[in-house]
Structure formats: C-alpha cells, structure tokens
Structure 1
Amino acid sequence: MDTNSKDIDLQIIGYASTPFLWTKQTVLDLKQLEYKEQNNIPFNESIPINLRLGKRVERYVSAELKNNKAISILAENIQIQNDKLTIGEIDCILKQDNRLYHVEIIFKFYLFDATVGTTELEHWIGPNRNDTLIKKLTKLKEKQLPLLYNIHTKPTLDALNIEANELEQRVFFKAQLFTPYKRKTTVFNTLNEDCVQGFYINVKELGQFNDCKFYIPSKVNWLQNPQTQVNWLQYNNFTSKIHTLVDDKKSPLCWIKFPNGKLQKFFVVWWQ
C-alpha cells in the first residue's frame, strides 16, 4: 500500500523547509554539499507506506537534485558487498559543474541536553537518548565516507569509469532541533540556529498546556510542518495516549495548538 499523496506532498514541503545543520564552515572537517536549493520539488513516485523516514528523505533529496540542471546523479543507494556480506552503502555519487562528489544524506531530529557532554556538538541527542549528533558525525567521518576507498567499492567505481581520488566528499545533513521549554541556554557557535523547530518537555510538565489542543503524527509525518486541518485531541485524551508511549520509553513528536491559534512542534520526553 502506498502513502497518501497529500501526506507525501506535505512531507516534501517539511523536508525542503528544514535548513542544513551547518553552513559554510566545516564541522569535524565535514563539508555540506553546496547547490541551489528548491522549494517546489516535483515528485511523482509512489512510496510504500512502511518506508521509514530516513529512506523517504533519500527519495526526496534525489528528486530535488535530479531537478537541478547543474547536477547529474551517476549512482545512488549503492550496496557495497564483500562476497554476499553487505559492508555498507554509498548514498550518492553525482556530478555538479564538472566536479565529482560522493555525498552522504542525513536527516535527524535532535534535542539539546546540557547535561550530556561538554561541547556544543555533544549536547545534542536523539529523542530517546540512544543516538547523538557527535556519534553520527564520528560515524560519517570514520566509517561512511572512508567506504569510498574500500577495496570492495572499486568495482562500482570502475563501472562508472571513476577513480576514488577524483571524488570530493560532502554530506547533505539537515536536522530539526528542539530546545528545553522556556529555557534559553542553548549556544549556537557552530550549528545553524534556524534548525530549531520547537521545544521539548517532560511528560510531568504537560499540565501547563491543559487549555491547548494536540496531535500526534505518525513517525513518517514528523517531516511535516504542523497542519491546521487535523483531528486535534483535547488535553485529557492526549495525555492518556502520551502516557502509554512514555511508559514504553518512547519520546513522541507532537503538534500543539495554543489558545491563540499558534501551532508548534514539540517532543514529550520520558527521561528528563
């Protein structure tokens, strides 16, 4: 079964409006791919309803890049294998203005926790605390990008008539960031403050929102910007659903509608 086309359209809008996690400078020597971004991305594919969020984003990135006249994608989603064992995947090899690039695509949701680590990069963690920005950056630097130079990648490059050293390496790293509710302690020296999309709050603190309405999108619709026309939940109904999730140690992304009509994304966390 395919995902509803309206949901896909809204996911693409949410993806396209999400900024890059950093711009211009490098982070841990990782450079972002620079290209002319597009807001209206033509997308005619059907997407299986169970395709997870990360793989959806790869499809949307691919559609955006293919729609750019300066870019040609030479290969994407390349499984690198040693006999029958898959040792990794190269997301994309492309040509832009006569330069060749190996690009790794990442889309993440991170929450700021000043108690984790000591640096700006170390303070950002996944909603369930089993993922961190620094861990992802390290994996990119030490495992994913070096895969280009692995002996088992050579047959793929040979088929494209490319040598590994002809390729420049870039990341395509977008993220949505969330800060603690009403606490302005976050420092942005390296990362892009425009990535902040909302706040997070512990389940025990939800009482202050008892005059608001709520919506809990499915995981793939975390990409979407909050929409007005959804089945909003009243506070009591919302909190009973939330308690079921946090009791399971899940931190869901939700939408909140304040009494003044303002809409915002936020996470309810179990761990704070």
Structure 2
Amino acid sequence: MDKNSYQQVLGFLATPPLWKHTLFGLSQFDFPKDILITDPAAIPDFPYSILGKRMESAFEALINISADYEVLASNIQIHTNKITVGELDFLLKSISRNQQYHVELVYKFYVYDPSIKKELERWIGPNRKDSLLQKVKKLKEKQFPLLYKHETIDYLSAFQVNPKKLKQEVCFKANLFLPKLLKQLETGEINPECIAGYWIHSENFCGEEYEKYWFYSPKKQQWPVHPQYAENWHSYEVIKKQVDYFIGCKRSPLLWMKKNESEFELFFVVWW
C-alpha cells in the first residue's frame, strides 16, 4: 500500500464542498457520507503524480467503497477523427435512486485577493495562473456540454447510457486561504468550512514572528494531506531559504507550521 495515497484519500474526504446545493447554475454532487475506510490497504496505489489526477483516483476509490454508488465509467476520452476533443470524469449510478450521473471533479486551492474589485473574482490560484470563475466558465462552456456532442452520444451507447437521462453535477472541493488579517468571508455564497488557512506576502515571513516554530513545505501532490503526517520538520532558518528560492522562481509555496504536537497552521507565502 502507498501510504501517500491513503493520506491523500483522507485529505480528500475531509475537504468540504466549495458550495452547498447550487451556485453558478452548477449543482453540487452530494458526496456520500456513509464511507468508512476500515482497511487502508483497500486504497489502491495512485499511478499519477499530478494532484488533479490523484484526486480523481481518490474520488473513484471512495465511490467504490460507498454502498449506494457504482462507477459506470471514468476518464472517458471523446475523440473526433482520432483527435481528443474532451474528457468526461465520471459516470455514476445511484442504486437507491436508480439514477445515473455525469460528475465532473474539481479539487482546488484558492487564495482570496481583496484588491480585485468583484467579490467572486477574488478567488485565484496562489500563483495567479487560474481562478474560480475561469474554472466555472470551463465547466459550463466545455466540460458539461461535451456530454451532448454526437461523438459522446455514440460512445456512451456502448455503456447503455442515454445522456439525456443523466443528471450533471460537479464535485467541487476546495481549500481556501484568506489574507492573514481577514477573519471572515464577506459573502454567504462560498462555504466558510473550506477556509483552511491564510496567506502572507514574502516580506512578512520574518523571523520575529515565526522563528520559534517548525515548518514543512509539502510538494503539491501532498497539499491535501493533514500536517500530522509530515516526517521531517525544519527550523525557520532552513525553511526561509526554501521559501526565498520559490519566491525567486515566482512560485508561492504552501507551508505547514507546527506550533506544538497537536496544533498546526497552513499558509501560503505569495510572490506577488
């Protein structure tokens, strides 16, 4: 068993949905709450290194444990003249409701930039390369409409699936980071349970405030994991050198900070 896969599954399971019910015209998939991992060895090793793909593996592993859902198909590549035009993440069936679903999975880390004028535009990736609204636009304009293209309809007939009878939902889980001095969200649309930590500018990561703690900077595929699983903690002096390197490369590292054996803080140090 790959312990990293197991730890990431636990992290995925603990991450709340970004919204409840419906937002942006997108229905949130009601992730089954009956899942209990009785045997960690039942979690398969994840074959991918990319975080998004590993979270898809986590989703599928958990759905397979669920008593109500079964996976009809996953990672379905849709082709036109041997060219891939898109991918459907999951086709599921609820046994209790006798209902089939097309579910797109999104697992994100966003920081909140209050300098941006419009509220929902403020949720951006820690390196400013993506945003919540960009992802919503892609879901609504590309990923969900793909289900109704004739190439998809022809492909799904092999699974005895009629796209018109599928419910389309998104499993959108997220970890949110506010500016350190901002204590709460200004809108009720985003689930406040998703707030996982804070962010600071690199010049504010100074010894006076942080030098008495221990740190670990996880690789991106480890980001969903609880800090309790970190094995090699570093002093402020050591982690500061790592942070300076990332900032020089215009990358915003995630840091886990251990205040004591049971108390941790998560925060990004941003380069911008």
Write the distance in 2 (CA, Å) between the matches of 1:245 and 1:229: 20
Partner of 1:231: 232
Q: 1:87 aligns with which of 81, 85, 88?
A: 85
TM-score (normalised: structure 1): 0.92
Which consecutive residues of structure 1, in runs of 5 or more, have no partner in the other structure? none
TM-score (normalised: structure 2): 0.92
CA deviation string 1:134-183 (max 9, x = no partner) = 11011101110000011211222111222221111000110000011122
Q: 1:245 to 1:38 in 2, by over 3 A?
A: farther
Check if 1:37 corresponds to 2:33.
Answer: yes
Partner of 1:184: 183
Q: 1:38 to 1:250 in 2, by over 3 A?
A: farther
Partner of 2:213: 212
Write the distance in 1 (CA, Å) between the matches of 2:121 and 2:56: 26
Shift in Å, 1:117 = 3.9
Partner of 1:103: 103
Partner of 2:23: 27
Partner of 1:243: 244
Shift in Å, 1:236 = 1.1
Shift in Å, 1:223 = 1.0
Q: Is the 8 A contact 1:17 1:39 kept in 2?
A: no
Check if 1:112 corresponds to 2:112.
Answer: yes
Q: Is the 8 A contact 1:94 1:100 kept in 2?
A: yes
Residue identity in the other structure for 2:111: L
Write the distance in 2 (CA, Å) between the matches of 1:260 and 1:90: 42
Residue identity in the other structure for 1:242: V
Partner of 2:168: 169
Which consecutive residues of structure 2, in runs of 5 or more, have no partner in the other structure? none
Shift in Å, 1:185 = 5.4
Residue identity in the other structure for 1:59: S
> What does 1:252-271 correspond to in 2, within 5 Å?
252-258=253-259, 262-271=263-272
Check if 1:11 corresponds to 2:12.
Answer: no
Q: CA RMSD in A?
A: 1.7
Shift in Å, 1:78 = 0.1
Shift in Å, 1:109 = 0.2
Partner of 1:56: 54
Q: Is the 8 A contact 1:38 1:64 kept in 2?
A: no
Write the distance in 1 (CA, Å) between the matches of 2:219 and 2:166: 38
Aligned residues: 265
Shift in Å, 1:9 = 1.7
Farther off after superposition, 159-168 or 195-204: 159-168
Farther off after superposition, 8-17 or 130-139: 8-17
In the TM superposition, structure 1's runs of 4+ consecutive aligned residues that sit over 6 Å from their partners are: none
- Match of 2:196, SS state, is strand
Write the distance in 1 (CA, Å) between the matches of 2:65 and 2:260: 41
Q: Is the 8 A contact 2:5 2:43 kept in 1?
A: no
